Amino acid sequence: MRFGLGIFFFVLFPFMAFPQSPPKSAIDLESFMERLFPIQEEDLDYESIYEVLFQLYLNPIDINRADAEILQASYLLNPSQISSLISYRNDFGPLLSLYELQAVPEFDLYTIENLIPFITLGDSGLRSEKFWERVKKEEQAYLLFRHQRTWETRRGFTLADTSANGTISSRYLGDPNNVYLRFRIQHARDFSMGITLDKDAGEQFAWDGKTARYGFNFFSFHFTRYYVEKWKTIALGDFQASFGQGLVFGAGYTLGKGAETVPTVRRSSIGILPYTAAMEFGFFRGIGSTRQFKNWQVSVIGSHAERDGRISVSTDSIDSAEDIISSINQSGLHRTSSELSTKNQFKETNLGGNIQYSHPSGKLQIGANSLFSRFDRPWIRSVQLYNQFEFAGQSNLVSSLYFNYNWKNFFLFGESALSQSGGSGTVLGFVSSLSKQVDFSLLWRNYDRNFHSFYASGFAENTRPINEQGVYLGIQIRPEKRWKINAYYDFFKFPWLRYRVYAPSKGYEWLARISYQPSRNLIAFLQIREEQKDRNLSDSGEPTLPYLVQPVKKLNGLLSLETHLSKNLFLRSRILLSQVIIEEKKTYGFMVLQDVQYGQDKWRLTGRIALFDAETYDNRLYAFENNVLWTFSIPAFSGQGMRYYLLGQYQITSKLTAYLRFSRTTYTDREVSSSGLQTIEGPKQTDTALMIRYFLR
C-alpha cells in the first residue's frame, strides 16, 4: 500500500518527488493570534501567551512522533483529523514526506497549509555533529533591539511639586524610553539559548547592586537542550512548565473563550519551555528536566528566585516583631521610589515534579503533578471580607492527577488538584468531532474558594482558578466549504465574595460568529458577544448597605471584511459596537476602522485609521493592532477620538531588518488624558516603536 501511495505522489505531483517538505512559509501570526486569543480584556498577559505560542512555532512538532496530546497543542487539527492521522501512521508507518498528508483522510489542502509551519519530519541531520559545532553553524542566531516611547510629557516626568503640608509629590526616577534587548540562538527540537534585557518607561538606567539593577531593570536568561539521549528536555535559567489542564503547571498559557470556540478549552501538556518574555513574574528560575523511560517520562523542577513585594512588620505581639509580605507586586514596574522599594524584597523557592505515562497507541495519557512553594517570610494580606480564604502563610503544596484519552473522535480530559489548605480544583471535559461538519466541546470546572495554586492557568472566568464553578459549551459548524459558524455559552458562579463584588454572584457569557469565505482572498464575519456579571454599584444610601450588588450586562458586536486585492495589497474594514446596561440605563460605544497593507519583496507598509465614540469606560472597545515583530498590541478605547498608525518593515540586507511604527490617538472630548503620574496635559498621545533585528549568520 505504501508503494502504491509513492507511485500516486510521483505521478500526480512530480514536482514533489525530491524534497521531503514543502517550503515553510511564514505563518500569519497576526491572524493566528487574533483567532486564538480570548475575548480581549485588560487583565490578561497577552505578551506571555504570545511568547509561548511562538515557542511552539519555533520548535515544530515531529509529525511522526507526536501523540494526540501534542498534536492538539497546535489548535489547528480537530479531533477527527488527529484520530485519522494516528490511524494512518499505525496502518502505514511514519510519513516519508509532508506531502503525504494529502493522503490522510479528513485532511484538506487548507488544513495542511496551516499546519505546515508547525510540523517537521524529525531531526534535520545536524545531530551527527558535536553540539557546539551545531551552535556555531546555526543560522537562527540574532540580536534584537527595540525602543518604544510616548512623546507627550506625562506628569511623572515633570518636576516634583510640594503640597501645603510640605510633602514632595512622587515622580518617575528615570526617562520615558522603553528599551528592550534580546540575544537568541536556537535550532528546533535541539537547543535554545538566549538573554533578554528590559527597561520600562520611567525606570532608571542604573547600576545598583542593592536593588539588583545592572543597567537594565530586568534580566532574563535561558539555556535549553532537547533530546539528549534519554533526556527529552534540560532547561537552565528561566523556564515555564505546562502539564495536564494547568491546575498546577500552567506556563502562563491560558487560552479560553474566543472566536475559536471548540479546541481552546483544553490545555496541552507541552512540558518544559524556555521563558523568553519580558514579564517579571510567572516563571521559574533554576533547573528543569524531563527524562524519558520508554512510555514514561519524569520531570523535575527546582527554582529559587527573588520576587517583588511590600514588606511590613507584624504587630500582633508586643514581645516579638516579624517581617511579613503584605502584598506581592506583579506589575514588574519600578518607576517611583515606592515601586522601587518593592523590588526583590523576598525569595521564593519552588520544588516540583511531574510523572506521565503515554500509551504506545498515542491515545491515552495519565500523569501526576506536585509543586511545593516556600517564601523566606510569611505572606499575610491585609484582611478584607472578600479575601479571607486567600492564601496566607509561608509555604504551599499543591498536587494533582490528570488524564487525556482519545476515543474515536472524542478527546476526553480532566485534572483534579488539592492544595495544602484542603481546597480543591477540578476540570473535566471533552472535545469531539460529531461529524465532518460539526465539532463540539464541553467543560465543567469547580474551584474551591480556598484552592491555592500559584502557577495555575486553568480554564476560568476569573483571572485565577479560585472561587468558581461553571459549565462551558462550544460548537463549530461548517455547513459547507464557504461558511463556518462558531458559538459558545458559558455559565459561571462565584460561591464567595470577590474584589468589587461583596456578595456571592453568578453570570453568563455567550458568543456567536458567522464567517463567510468564498475564496482564499476574501473573508467576512459577523460576531456578537454578550456577558452578564454581578458587580458592586453606587452607594445605596443606606448606612448598612454601602454597596448594591447588581448585574451588569455588556453586548459587543463586530463586523469584519478582509480581502487581498492582489498579491501585495491587503484591506481590512471593521465596525465595532458595544452596549452596556446598568440598572436599566443603556450606554453605547462605536468604532469604525480601515486597515491597508502593501508590500514588496523587501518591504511592507501597514496602516490604520479609526474613529471611536464610547460613552463610558465600560463601553471601551478593544482593537487588535499590527506592531513591530514579537510585540503585541490590543489597546482599549473609550471617549471620543481618532486613532491611526503606520508600521513599516524593511529588509536592509539579508541579515538586517528594521521595523518602525508611528501611532497617535487624538481625543475630541477632553483636554487631559490618562490619570495619576500617567496624565498627559493635552488631547493627544503619540507613540513610536523601533525594532532592529540582526542575524549573526
User: Where along the chain do its domains lie?
Assistant: 1-36+60-124
For the segment 544-550, the average pLDDT, to the nearest whole number, is: 73
Least-confidence region, from 78-87, 335-344, 556-565: 78-87
Name the E strands within 482-602: 483-494, 505-519, 522-536, 549-564, 569-582, 585-599
Q: Cβ of 197: how many Cβ atoms within 10 Å?
A: 19
Query: Given this model, what pLDDT does residue 60 score?
Result: 75
Name, in order, each residue with C-beta under 8 angstroms of 431's C-beta and a sequence gap of 6 or more. 72, 78, 79, 262, 263, 265, 266, 410, 411, 413, 439, 440, 441
Q: How far is CA 532 from CA 489, 508, 546, 582, 667, in A?
A: 12, 5, 22, 10, 29
For the segment 27-47, the average pLDDT, to the nearest whole number, is: 56
Which run of H or of E encompasses 49? helix 46-58
pLDDT higher for 670 or 211? 670
**Bridge partners of residue 691, in order along the sequence:** 146, 659
Rounded Cα gap, residues 666 and 261, in angstroms: 35
Which residue, chain included where needed, has cell 516579638?
320
Rounded Cα gap, residues 527 and 557, in angstroms: 6
HEC-encoded secondary structure of 172-239 = CCCCCEEEEEEEEEEECCCEEEEEEEEECCCCCCEEEHHHCEEEECEEEEEEEEEEECCEEEEEEEEE
Beta-sheet pairing, 393-407 with 603-614? unpaired
pLDDT in tens, 176-202: 999 999 999 988 778 999 999 999 999
Rounded Cα gap, residues 679 and 561, in angstroms: 36
C-alpha cell at 266: 483544553
Rounded to 10 deg, the angle between the 46-58 and 29-36 helix axes is 120
Query: Given this model, what pLDDT does residue 10 score?
Result: 33
pLDDT in tens, 128-151: 688 898 898 888 899 999 999 999
pLDDT in tens, 1-25: 443 434 333 333 333 333 455 555 5
pTM to 2 decimal places: 0.88
pLDDT in tens, 356-390: 999 888 789 999 999 999 999 999 998 888 899 99
Contact 492, 469 (CB under 8 A): yes
Beta-sheet pairing, 322-328 with 346-358? unpaired
53-62, 101-110, 146-155, 408-417: which has the highest mean pLDDT? 146-155
| Residue 416 identity | S
C-alpha cell at 149: 516611547
For the segment 115-123, the average pLDDT, to the nearest whole number, is: 75
Rounded Cα gap, residues 140 and 188, in angstroms: 9
Query: Given this model, what pLDDT does residue 634 score?
Result: 82
Which run of H or of E encompasses 120? strand 119-120
Name the E strands within 584-683: 585-599, 603-614, 621-622, 636-637, 639-651, 656-667
Q: How far is CA 585 from CA 87, 580, 637, in A?
A: 57, 8, 21
Contact 477, 438 (CB under 8 A): yes
Rounded Cα gap, residues 292 and 358, in angstroms: 11
Q: Which CATH architecture has domain 1-36+60-124?
A: Orthogonal Bundle (1.10)
Rounded Cα gap, residues 281 and 356, in angstroms: 27
Whether residue 315 is predicted with pLDDT greater than 80 in this model: the reply is no
The dihedral built from the CA positions of residue 248, 254, 257 and 260, taken in this order, carries a sign that is negative
Please tell me whether residue 296 adopts helix, strand or coil conformation.
strand
Q: Cβ of 483: how many Cβ atoms within 10 Å?
A: 13
30 pLDDT tier (thresholds 50, 70, 90):
low
Percent of the chain with pLDDT over 70: 87
Which run of H or of E encompasses 79? helix 79-92
Query: Given this model, what pLDDT does residue 5 score?
Result: 39
For the segment 567-591, the average pLDDT, to the nearest whole number, is: 95
Percent of the chain with pLDDT over 90: 58
89 pLDDT tier (thresholds 50, 70, 90):
confident
Contact 682, 618 (CB under 8 A): no
For the segment 526-530, the average pLDDT, to the nearest whole number, is: 95
Q: Cβ of 617: how many Cβ atoms within 10 Å?
A: 12
Q: Of the candidates 431, 443, 612, 325, which has an alpha carbon nearest to the alpha carbon of residue 68?
A: 431
Contact 81, 138 (CB under 8 A): no
Least-confidence region, from 159-163, 415-419, 532-536: 159-163
Contact 410, 379 (CB under 8 A): no
The CA-to-CA distance between both ends of the chain, in Å, stands at 44
For the segment 391-412, the average pLDDT, to the nearest whole number, is: 93
pLDDT in tens, 624-667: 888 898 787 888 999 999 999 999 999 999 999 999 999 999 99
pLDDT in tens, 216-231: 999 999 999 998 989 9
Whether residue 544 is predicted with pLDDT greater than 70 in this model: the reply is no
Q: Is 486 exposed, middle or buried (0-12, 13-18, 19+ CB in 10 A)?
A: buried
Q: Of the candidates 35, 147, 87, 104, which has an alpha carbon nearest to the alpha carbon of residue 661?
A: 147
Rounded Cα gap, residues 606 and 601, in angstroms: 15
Q: Of the candidates 582, 554, 681, which has an alpha carbon nearest to the alpha carbon of residue 40?
A: 554
451 pLDDT tier (thresholds 50, 70, 90):
very high
pLDDT higher for 121 or 665? 665
Rounded Cα gap, residues 513 and 486, in angstroms: 5
For the segment 267-289, the average pLDDT, to the nearest whole number, is: 89
Calculate the dihedral angle through the C-alpha atoms of 85, 234, 224, 221, rounding to the nearest 10 degrees.
140
> Torsion-angle region of residue 684: left (phi > 0), alpha (psi -120 to 50) or beta?
beta
Q: Cβ of 384: how many Cβ atoms within 10 Å?
A: 11
DSSP 544: T
Q: Of the candidates 430, 417, 497, 503, which has an alpha carbon nearest to the alpha carbon of residue 462?
A: 497
Q: How many CA atoms does the CB half-sphere of 381 hold within 13 Å? A: 12
**Bridge partners of residue 254, in order along the sequence:** none
Rounded Cα gap, residues 490 and 500, in angstroms: 21
Contact 296, 313 (CB under 8 A): no
Q: Cβ of 141: how many Cβ atoms within 10 Å?
A: 19
The dihedral built from the CA positions of residue 269, 274, 278 and 284, taken in this order, carries a sign that is positive
Q: How far is CA 478 from CA 182, 483, 516, in A?
A: 43, 6, 10
C-alpha cell at 467: 472561587
For the segment 605-612, the average pLDDT, to the nearest whole number, is: 97
Beta-sheet pairing, 213-215 with 218-228? unpaired
